[in-house]
Structure 1
Amino acid sequence: MAIFAWSEAKQLDDSLNSLDDFFAFPPQSVQTLTGGLTNRCWKIVDAEGVAYVWRPTTAITKAFSITRHQENQVLSAIELLKIAPKPILLNDKGLLVEWLDGETLSDGLALDSLLRTAISVHQVNTARIPLTPFCFTARVDHYWFQLNEKHRIEPFKSIYQEWRSSPNVKGVDNALCHFDLGGYNLVKNQQGIQIIDWEYAALADPRLDLTLSIAVAQQPLLQSVYRYCQLRGIEDVDTWVEGVQAWLPRSQMMAMLWYLLAHQLWGDASFLEEAEALSHTFCS
């Protein structure tokens, strides 16, 4: 992580200028944060030693249908639960949140810990979260129509067309979903396990969020779903198994499009390799 003086950082990222009125004195240090793929965030330590994270609004966040306004709404709604950073300031250039001290669980964590963390999100009372429910088809269409002709090729095109609709399965109530619940977004500290990077969070079918979380953790699918239902006290296990199995190819297709768009935006060959690897799962 490169460390800059405040004046230098503002030359690198114009959005930081929007924070001049917030800080009474120039921050003592600013550094880039690694790990975030869809954003270039900054850790800012003010003159008194208080640390924050600046999450800017960029062309990249817009490309992935991310809004800092929605992220702020989610963080504000769950602030008292202390499972996420506290939002500090929102403006048209980005979102300032508190810095969470602790150990990032980049190497993953035990299945039960992951599932209990997912449950803590899915059981949040959503009555005070003023979000429009997540629309899977709208999201994958958004990704697809931003791709250029170089990326709208086979087998990507056929996979997208086959799986772009939500599954026709027995419904469950929408829940707050994080949609990127990997160890790299989990911080262990005195509060327990706290969750960062809520930019993809939405009200959605929790079985889709569970599917994504199991895939990221590389855990066995059915065993994980059964254990989730056991921990949460869900009796209608079949509905959850059926839902996760139905969401699996759709979540893989959505991830495939995400990597294609990331490759188009950054040109990093590893993103294309990930998209191709995901496309091969459909062939097998």
Structure 2
Amino acid sequence: MAQQLSTSTEQQIWHLCQRLEFFANHQPLALQKLAASSTNDNYYIHTQRGHYLLRHYAPFVEGVCRQQELRCQHAAAAVDVAPAPLCLNNHQRMLISEFLTHSRHFDWQLHHGELWQLINKLVSLHRLKVQTPVLDAVLYLQQLKADIPAASWTEGDHADWQRLLAAAEEFVRLPQDIVLCHMDLHSGNILLQQQKLWLIDFEYCQLADSSFDLAALSINLGMSRSEESKMLLYYLEHREQATAALLEKLQLAKQIYSGFCWLWYKNLPNGAAKAQRARDKLRQLLLPPFPLHP
């Protein structure tokens, strides 16, 4: 690609890159906007020096420590779980990481045979020692709720909230298995590159009970009961210390995780549809289990 960019989109992307000293004296070869998330835009940058992923964070996102995100991703990259982060600029709200060429997003229907590798990556992450805050599920739910305008809070919301809060209070009374959790595991944050799995987007990575990452995988990948059981079997083969009350915690963690998503998306601009889906999942999980026999 010539140095004179041919389209306005490419020019806008390169103008964004030039805000960072990291790209000084780079010659652009290919620029592409990738799929955006609810909180950031993603760009593929190819220069004569390498291939890069540029994440540009939305200005409305508050309460996220980017230095913590950088520490967690550095640690994960050191054990071959994540691509290496290369540059963080808080002022410009940008993070540059290595770009995984020829990679694709994980698809559970196509790649369920990679479950063993996925759990190996998760275990490697959970074994890392990184100084981060410990998640208090009850406090975090209360913080998310406090940010929601009172005018948009209904009686139905309050009823769901009360049951969700009760689940969180029950959860924290159980034995805890505190590890470094990703806290946002879904198919968009798992990449497959030539049969090798990588985790990306460590924005919400922190210390928490291991069951939250297991719950996220079960919910977001749409696992059946047998698939969930296989996931737990693989996981416990590597981390027997997680066994205590795991099944009970997992059921509660799925409720709490769905509650996190409901309240978080309810606070986001244009997040109504995702908030409703998360709330529907929460209500489904809050239903009492059907008995196996009449």
Asked if Structure 1 and Structure 2 have the same fold, meaning a TM-score greater than 0.5 normalized by the shorter chain, the answer is yes
Structure whose alpha-carbon radius of gyration is higher: 2
Q: Which residue of 1 aligns with 2:4?
A: none
Q: Which residue of 2 aligns with 1:27?
A: 28
In structure 1, C-alpha distance between the alignment counterparts of 2:272 and 2:36, rounded to whole Å: 17
Q: Which residue of 1 aligns with 2:274?
A: 271
Q: Which residue of 1 aligns with 2:68?
A: 70
1:116 and 1:137, CA in 2 relative to 1: closer, same or farther beyond 3 A? farther
1:144 and 1:209, CA in 2 relative to 1: closer, same or farther beyond 3 A? same
Q: Out of 195, 200, 206, which is 1:202 matched to?
A: 206
* AA at the equivalent of 1:59: P
Following superposition, the deviation at residue 32 of structure 1 comes to 1.9
Q: Which residue of 2 aligns with 1:256?
A: 262
* AA at the equivalent of 2:197: I
Q: Secondary structure of 2:133's match?
A: coil
Tell me, yes or no, if structure 1 residue 223 matches structure 2 residue 229: yes
Kindly indicate whether the alpha-carbon contact (under 8 Å) linking 1:104 and 1:185 is maintained by their aligned counterparts in 2: no
* Residue segments in structure 1 that go unaligned for 5+ positions in a row: none
* Residue segments in structure 2 that go unaligned for 5+ positions in a row: 1-6, 288-294
Q: Give per-residue Cα distances to partners, 1:74-118, cap 9 Å, x unaligned.
A: 111222212211010112122111111233234225556336424
Q: Give per-residue Cα distances to partners, 1:245-266, cap 9 Å, x unaligned.
A: 222221221121123123xx12
Tell me, yes or no, if structure 1 residue 234 matches structure 2 residue 240: yes
Following superposition, the deviation at residue 151 of structure 1 comes to 2.9
* AA at the equivalent of 2:212: L
1:168 and 1:275, CA in 2 relative to 1: closer, same or farther beyond 3 A? closer
In structure 2, C-alpha distance between the alignment counterparts of 1:138 and 1:27, rounded to whole Å: 46
> Between the two proteins, what is the percent identity of the paired residues?
19
1:145 and 1:10, CA in 2 relative to 1: closer, same or farther beyond 3 A? farther
- Residues paired across the two proteins, number: 272
In structure 1, C-alpha distance between the alignment counterparts of 2:85 and 2:79, rounded to whole Å: 13
Q: Secondary structure of 1:197's match?
A: coil
The two structures have a TM-score, normalised by structure 1, of: 0.81
Tell me the C-alpha RMSD between the 2 structures. Answer: 2.9
Q: Give per-residue Cα distances to partners, 1:40-84, cap 9 Å, x unaligned.
A: 1222222x062211122332432xx33322111111122221221
Following superposition, the deviation at residue 228 of structure 1 comes to 3.5
Q: Which residue of 1 aligns with 2:188?
A: 184
Following superposition, the deviation at residue 133 of structure 1 comes to 1.5
* AA at the equivalent of 1:194: W
Q: Secondary structure of 1:126's match?
A: coil
The two structures have a TM-score, normalised by structure 2, of: 0.79
* AA at the equivalent of 2:97: V
* AA at the equivalent of 2:148: L
Matches within 5 A, 1:105-184: 105-108=105-108, 110-111=111-112, 113-114=114-115, 116-124=117-125, 125-127=127-129, 129-164=130-165, 165-166=168-169, 167-184=171-188
